[in-house]
Amino acid sequence: MSDYGLFQEEKNRLDAYISRQFKIVGITENLSGATVELEHPGGGQAEVRLLTAEGRKYMSNLVIKQFTAAN
Amino acid sequence: MADLRINLAGISSPNPFWLASAPPTNTGYQVQRAFEAGWGGAVWKTLGDPIINTSSRFAAVHFNGQRVAGFNNIELITDRPLEVNLKEIAETKKRFPNHAVVVSLMVEPKREKWHEIVKRVEAVGVDGLELNFGCPHGMAERGMGSASGQQPDLVEAQTMWVKEAAQTPVIVKLTPNITDITMTAIAAARGGADAISLINTINSLAGVDLDSWNTIPHVGGKGAHGGYCGPAVKPIALNMVAECARSPHIHIPISGIGGISNWKDAAEFMLMGATGVQICTAAMHHGFRIVEDMIDGLNNYLDDKGLASVSELIGKSVPRYSDWGDLDLNYQVVARIHEDNCIVCNKCHIACEDTSHQCIERLETSDGRSYLKVREEDCVGCNLCAIVCPVEDAITMVEIPSTELPMSWNQRQKAIGSMGQNEAPGAKEAV
């Protein structure tokens, strides 16, 4: 029943990409949740599916940080 | 002792507690008796072409042992000739020159009708007028009351007609039987209203008798919808007052009405933007002398807060009332159960398990004693457990400091939008 474990998995996946300098470049939100597209400045691409509300909130915080850092 | 005097759009009174236009303000005898008890003002029961009332008229909703949690009436405006009311108003004002005597008015939506009644009522020396655009039953079927008050253009036009003739401040009383009360409040302001008062009663049917199948109340076996008021409507009224108070388009004072039963309710309405309050059901339930407790309680509260005047309360909570999209999504509270106070009744566990997020576990110690524990990482801070808990301080909601900066939905959407969000086909339709 607990979403917390699933959120931790989603957070860990996002953190792993961010720690490797990936940037969030696209977000698709739909009835199933969110798909986060990431790109590495060196050319790599990745995609993370987020199902939990906490995961989408965490992703939103990352986007705002990225937005703030870029402006 | 704090200064309890208020001034609502030029109408001053010794305290913020006014009787609302209703059965308690039907006669000079009643209003003078109320002033003797300590009420600061009264809005005289609505004057207009005298009507004929029904028998019976009132009904109440009692809930879990609380008498009159809600109150329903199908009584109409005054059934006495205008001359009789005016004579008593003049006598009352003469005896109580420092109290606020405001008179509620309702006539057909015709300019000459409004001019006539305004002039005749003001001639006896009233402090202000309140236009009844809110009564939901009976009069509405004749094109008056809420039938007028639900149409912003009629609210504006009639207010304007009144202002053409009026020398005293004009308060427009609004109906809650509308989707967005700020629309009619803005119309009143546009028409020149000096203040608004809200809310009038809410369309209601108190109940159905399960033996006779008659409505409650009924008039010889037939019923009609009435107006609902009393403690049950307070949250609805408070929100409507707050919405008007925070509207950037409304800059006139507010007289708060709706389920105000004690000094705390009054203080809440004033914090949410009301300059003063009007009360009816509580007086009908407990008599005029409840105002003594209201005055004492408000005085003590202001002293405790170090405030010299009740006016310092007005609108202080309005900036804290916003739209959902501006709330901080990173703010978090979780429930904590205090074992010393918990009686292990299980209500929190059942509520959380059945209707919330399944994060309160019933556990056992090694010696077989049951206890309840919140799995904080799964708690969404909904408050339900603390709400249903029958023991004071057995469950508290504790703020968890966030490691993130505040982030609202609107900020989130702006940030995501700025990066060119890709929305899946159909996603917009699903919102």
pLDDT at A22 over 80: yes
> Which pLDDT value is given to residue B197?
98
Q: Do B427 and A30 touch (CB under 8 A)?
A: yes
B222 min Cα distance to partner chain A (Å)? 49
Residues B264-287 as b or e (16 or more Cβ within 10 Å = b): ebbbbbbbbbbbbbbbbbbbbeee
Of A3, A26, A31, nearest to B378 by CB-CB distance is A3
Residue B431 — very low, low, confident or very high, per pLDDT cuts 50/70/90? very low
> Which pLDDT value is given to residue B425?
39
> Which pLDDT value is given to residue B101?
98
Which residue in A has a C-alpha nearest to residue B376's C-alpha?
A: A4
CA angle B394, B396, B397 (to 5 degrees): 155
pLDDT at B428 over 80: no
> Which pLDDT value is given to residue B77?
94
- The CATH number assigned to the domain with range B6-320 reads 3.20.20.70
pLDDT at B426 over 50: no
- For chain B, the average pLDDT equals 95
B327-399: CATH topology is Alpha-Beta Plaits (3.30.70)
> Which pLDDT value is given to residue B381?
97
CA-to-CA distance for A23 and B88, rounded, in angstroms? 78
Q: From the CA atom positions of chain A, what is the Rg in Å?
A: 12
In this prediction, residues B359-381 reach a mean pLDDT of 96
Residue B41 — very low, low, confident or very high, per pLDDT cuts 50/70/90? very high
Q: Could you state, in order of their start, the residue ranges of all structural domains in chain B?
A: 6-320, 327-399
Q: Do B424 and A29 touch (CB under 8 A)?
A: yes
pLDDT at A56 over 70: yes
For chain B, what is the total number of helices (H) and then of strands (E)? 14, 20
Q: Measured between beta carbons, which residues in chain B are less than 8 angstroms from residue A34?
A: none
| Torsional sign, CA B29, B33, B36, B38 | negative
- List, in order, residues 6 or more apart from A33 with CB less than 8 Å away: A49, A50, A51, A52, A55, A56
User: Any idea which of B22-31, B141-150, B314-323, B389-398 has the lowest mean pLDDT?
Assistant: B141-150
pLDDT in tens, B46-74: 999 999 999 999 999 999 999 999 999 99
- List, in order, residues 6 or more apart from B371 with CB less than 8 Å away: B339, B342, B344, B362, B363, B364, B365
- Cα-flanking dihedrals φ and ψ of residue B256, to 5°? -85, 135
Q: Measured between beta carbons, which residues in chain A are less than 8 angstroms from residue B427?
A: 29-31
In this prediction, residues A29-35 reach a mean pLDDT of 96
Domain count, chain A: 1
Q: Do B419 and A2 touch (CB under 8 A)?
A: no
pLDDT at B424 over 60: no
Q: Measured between beta carbons, which residues in chain B are less than 8 angstroms from residue A61?
A: 330, 404-405, 407
Active site residues of B: 135
> Which pLDDT value is given to residue B140?
87
Domain extent at residue A8: 4-70
pLDDT at B421 over 90: no
Point out which residues pair with B227 in neighbouring strands. Answer: B73, B203
CB-based contact, A47 to chain B, within 8 Å: no
Residue B314 near residue B355, CB atoms below 8 Å: no
In this prediction, residues A49-69 reach a mean pLDDT of 95
Query: Do β-strands B215-216 and B207-208 pair in parallel, antiparallel, or remain unpaired?
Result: antiparallel
Residue A69 — very low, low, confident or very high, per pLDDT cuts 50/70/90? confident
- Cα-flanking dihedrals φ and ψ of residue A51, to 5°? -105, -25
Residue B309 near residue B2, CB atoms below 8 Å: yes
> Which pLDDT value is given to residue B420?
61
A42 min Cα distance to partner chain B (Å)? 19
Residue B270: left if φ>0, alpha if ψ -120 to 50, beta else—which one?
A: alpha
| Torsional sign, CA B398, B400, B405, B407 | negative
What ranges in B342-390 are assigned the alpha helix state H?
Answer: 347-355, 384-388
Chain B: residues touching A (Cβ < 8 Å): 329-330, 358-359, 375, 377-378, 404-405, 407, 411-412, 415-416, 418-424, 426-427, 430
Kindly state the tokens that stand for B390: 């029958």
pLDDT in tens, B213-262: 999 999 999 999 999 999 999 999 999 999 999 999 999 999 999 999 99
Which residue in A has a C-alpha nearest to residue B420's C-alpha?
A: A26
